Structure 1
Amino acid sequence: MIGCLLIHGFTGSPFEVEPLAEFLQDRTDWKIVVPTLPGHGETLELKGIKHIEWIEHAESELKALLNTCDEVYVIGFSMGGLIASYLSVKYDVDKLVLLSAAAYYINAKQLLKDIGNLIKEGIQGNILENELYKRYKFKVTQTPILSTYEFRKVVRIARPLLREVSIPTFIAQGKNDGIVPPKAAKYIYETISSKKKNLFYSPEAKHLICHSQDKHELFDKIYQFLQIE
């Protein structure tokens, strides 16, 4: 049996990767696991939660798959991508997929463009219907400042280990990402030691790459990558 662990991002939930999880579930008989990291989910309760708790929770889910599956793939989105890369170095993972992995974060140029669009829509009276506005407002109002430091600790732990990633790796990044700049994907691609590695840029995607308009092209490429022997 093949097991596949999908890890969502900071302040996120399984919603961020569910379209990909469902795509894979529909086409395979794999054991698909999409955990919710401590303090995360539809309602955030991050106060007092430490970065090590996020890593350990993902680690425990991975161990369970390794104990029951012949092969295990790990897919990580944003902060989840860093956790996934960390786990791929520490455990016997077969393949790795990194989506908008936060090796760098905050693409100021795109973020300013997004904010400009929000202001424009606000003038037009459409801002309350804007998904980006809702998401940013929710995260800004619900995320304790100390939690952002915990996120940065994950980055500090995982980034130095990227050079030790040696398994087949698929890296994907949205060109319009306002949170993680496109250079993050290029940095990861050039840093990891994997001999088999793919780099894909989605021309349409913002940060939530699994919810982009061209997501099915991405999903097809990931599926093909995971199917290759």
Structure 2
Amino acid sequence: MPVLPGAEPFRHEGGEVGVLLCHGFTGSPQSMRPWAEYLAERGLTVALPLLPGHGTRWEDMQLTGWQDWYAEVDRELRALRERCAQVFVFGLSMGGALALRLAARHGDEVSGVVVVNPGNKVHGLAAYALPVARHFVRTAPGIASDIAKEGGLEIGYDKVPLHAAHSLRRFFQVVDRELPQVTQPMLLLRSPQDHVVPPADSARVLSRVSSTDVTEILLEQSYHVATLDHDADRIFEESYAFIGRLAPSVGKEGTATGG
């Protein structure tokens, strides 16, 4: 099945510091591409994969689950580790949960974590109905394009496949149990006005991780897909500064680019 225009994965061969970016549930690399390009322009090695079942049509996602999505980012992380001295993991929404699990499971191989509006739980009645409802109803309305900026558009599905949503619920439970294993420095950026993920999810993440070097930043001008919203530049700049603090070679002429 052809990938939707704009939803293609993105990779850039840069210097010895690498960043893996993880997009969200029913979304695509398009929501993260400006961030990835910002980092690539500054000499970093960047990987922004397309998660299985995403970026084509919702019927394809119906056939995938969290194990498929996690396996993809795990493989990308291992590839980055082979050629980079340090690797950071970034994520938006469900991508934040993927990044946190990578940090929990890979330990010192991950130098730091940056998450934007990370998901931690499927809320409301839907969470209880999913195990049964998914056998009778195939989809629910989509969650894409929660963006305050006028004209902002996220390439994502207009329907949520319930089998995949049920898998997402189970994945969040797995990640929540593993959060105490996250010890790396962490930057968490969240939107007080988010119509997809409530503030409780970020609060839960902050209360569960074992990291001692933690920074929380509020994105007052943005909704859920903040990487395409008014605060996008701030996300990019803060994340680059975060890397620069933990990877001394970044920003020093002739080292980040390997030349």
TM-score by length of 2: 0.73
Corresponding residue for residue 43 of structure 1: 57
Amino acid paired to 1:35: P
Amino acid paired to 1:16: S
Quote how far apart the aligned CAs of 1:215 are.
Answer: 1.6
Corresponding residue for residue 69 of structure 1: 84
Corresponding residue for residue 154 of structure 1: 171
Residue pairs, 1:76-87, within 5 angstroms: 76-87=91-102
> Are 1:185 and 1:199, in contact at CA under 8 Å, matched by a contact in 2?
no
Matches of 1:99 and 1:166 in 2, distance apart?
18
Counterpart pick for 1:88 among 79, 103, 117: 103
Residue pairs, 1:26-175, within 5 angstroms: 26-27=41-42, 29-44=43-58, 45-91=60-106, 92-105=109-122, 138-140=157-159, 143-175=160-192
Matches of 1:211 and 1:221 in 2, distance apart?
15
| Superposed CA offset, 1:28-57 (max 9, x none) | x11100000000015332122121111111
Amino acid paired to 1:49: T
Select the structure that is richer in helix: 1
| Superposed CA offset, 1:78-133 (max 9, x none) | 111111111111112111111111013569xxxxxxxxxxxxxxxxxxxxx9767x
> Percent of aligned pairs with the same residue?
28
5+ residue gaps, structure 1:
108-128
Amino acid paired to 1:20: W
| Superposed CA offset, 1:135-192 (max 9, x none) | 78x432xx32111101112101111111111000111111111001122222212221
**Do the aligned partners of residues 184 and 64 (structure 1) sit closer, same or farther apart at CA in structure 2, a change above 3 Å counting?**
same
**RMSD (CA atoms):** 2.3
Matches of 1:131 and 1:74 in 2, distance apart?
25
Quote how far apart the aligned CAs of 1:64 are.
Answer: 0.4
Counterpart pick for 1:215 among 222, 229, 232: 232
Tell whether 2:199 aligns with 1:182: yes
Counterpart pick for 2:211 among 194, 208, 213: 194
Quote how far apart the aligned CAs of 1:72 are.
Answer: 0.3
> Are 1:13 and 1:42, in contact at CA under 8 Å, matched by a contact in 2?
no
Matches of 2:180 and 2:66 in 1, distance apart?
22
Corresponding residue for residue 249 of structure 2: none
**Do the aligned partners of residues 95 and 16 (structure 1) sit closer, same or farther apart at CA in structure 2, a change above 3 Å counting?**
same
Q: Runs of 4 or more off by more than 3 Å in structure 1?
A: 104-107, 129-132
Corresponding residue for residue 113 of structure 1: none
Amino acid paired to 2:172: V
Corresponding pairs, count = 205
Corresponding residue for residue 143 of structure 2: none
Matches of 1:81 and 1:206 in 2, distance apart?
16
Tell whether 2:44 aligns with 1:10: no
**Do the aligned partners of residues 221 and 164 (structure 1) sit closer, same or farther apart at CA in structure 2, a change above 3 Å counting?**
same
TM-score by length of 1: 0.83
Matches of 1:147 and 1:153 in 2, distance apart?
10
